[in-house]
Amino acid sequence: MNSKKAVITILGLIGGKDNHQKATYYFEEKKEEKKEYFNTFPLLIEKFPNDYKIVPLHTKEAKSVNEKVLQKSDITFANFEEKYFIDDDKNFTKLFNIINSAIEEYDELIIDVSHGFRHLPILMVVDLIIQNFQDTSKIKQIFFAKEIVQYKEYEIIDLKEYLDLANISFVLTTFEKNYTVASHIKSEIYKKLLKELNDFSNDLMALNIGNLKKTANELIIELDKIEEISIEKQALKLKETVQQLSNFENNDLYFYYYQLSKTLFEKNYILLSLTLLYESTVLFIVFSIEKKNNEIYKKLENHFKNKFSEKYIYQLGDLLKNLHRNFVDNNKINRNLLNEKEYLLLQNSYKSLNIQKLSKDINDKRNNLAHANSIKSFQDISQEVSKLIFQYESQIINKK
């Protein structure tokens, strides 16, 4: 099935007077191909005779003027559709509806904003930006007649690049605020950037910490490629944010989890924040026992590394967080690996941390939210989680 293509233009009032002289027009990429016209309307009709349907948005006066222009240019045109008639150019709501209707009807578009009443081309561009944050791919070009010599010479330039820039500017700004990008937003020029934004966001929202550094580095590579001055500062700011979100090499892992938990809490990702805060308490137990009982810890670490490879730390944490249980009752203990005397040494270290209740409270709150059991308001839940973060800081961070 062939795609429907159209050139949408807003007609103005230039060229209809008997004494009006033609001006020279040419496209920026073909400056050697110059030709004279009364305005861009006959130019578009001549340039796109077959593949594209010419769709003029027009007022009564603009239609009359351009019919004279076509008559003087010996061009026949009979496609002034009533649905694209503008009866009140001050009614912006109706204008947006007419523009949107024209855009939605076609699969591939070239937009001409060279003429028209002064505010109409601006409204067209604004509408393109608003409507096409989702996907600018159907807009192939946006023509604008750049004045070289007043009334005498015009260069037709393409503003599509600026539509993409507006789109990406919006994406970078919103991503920095909420770490997500709508999956339906598309841009051919920034296709790779959008992919890396999505990949990083997916890892962050899934708390896929093991892969977060990789996707962060790949995203930073794309952000470093941005040289457009209009979005360069946004790209730099987002780069700093991404580095902060993924920078755990210089910190203990439990501390990184705590920092990321706080950051996500500030963005209102309550469940993700709680999940990280709980995992941080487990990692703190692992970190503390490694320092206090290093010989026993190394034996356990080697065992779990051999058995679980890269994920060993979580399996080891699962064992150590249950040290509040008696040796005989703890079914997670491999008694060929750990004897009762060694277990008691680890247990004493665990109890000295005094975070069993804190860890349980955080985990209970997380499970309650994860299973949709809460009937409290978001504000109440947020306050409760804020208190848990404060307790965590008091019992762990401030006692470092």
Q: For position 29, what pLDDT does the model report? A: 82
- Distance between CA 152 and CA 44 in Å, rounded? 18
% pLDDT > 90, the chain? 55
Q: Do 342 and 296 touch, CB atoms closer than 8 A?
A: yes
Q: Quick check: 128 pLDDT over 80?
A: no
**Between 349 and 78, residue with greater pLDDT:** 349
Structure tokens at 114: 């060279």
Q: Do 238 and 174 touch, CB atoms closer than 8 A?
A: no
256: part of which helix (H) or strand (E)?
helix 253-266
**Mean pLDDT lowest among 119-123, 267-271, 388-392:** 119-123
| 272-285 exposure pattern, b = at least 16 Cβ within 10 A, e = fewer | bbbbbbbbbbbbbb
Q: For position 132, what pLDDT does the model report? A: 54
The domain segmentation of the chain, as residue ranges, is: 5-158, 165-246, 253-399
**∠ CA(339), CA(343), CA(347), 5° rounding?**
175
State whether the Cα torsion 97-136-171-214 is positive or negative: positive
Report how far apart the first and last C-alpha atoms of the chain are (Å, whole number).
67
**Between 374 and 292, residue with greater pLDDT:** 292
- Give the amino acid at 112: D
Structure tokens at 288: 């503390």
pLDDT band at 400 (very low <50, low <70, confident <90, very high): low
Please state the separation of Cα 147 from the chain's center in Å: 36
> DSSP states of 339-375 as a string?
-HHHHHHHHHHHHHH--HHHHHHHHHHHHHHHTT---
pLDDT band at 30 (very low <50, low <70, confident <90, very high): confident
Rounded to an integer, the average pLDDT of 21-28 is 93
The verdict on domain 5-158 having CATH code 3.30.1490 is no
Q: Quick check: 124 pLDDT over 70?
A: no
Average pLDDT value over all residues in the chain: 88
- Distance between CA 287 and CA 265 in Å, rounded? 24
Please state the separation of Cα 279 from the chain's center in Å: 28
Q: Quick check: 133 pLDDT over 60?
A: no
Q: Do 107 and 4 touch, CB atoms closer than 8 A?
A: yes
Q: For position 119, what pLDDT does the model report? A: 57
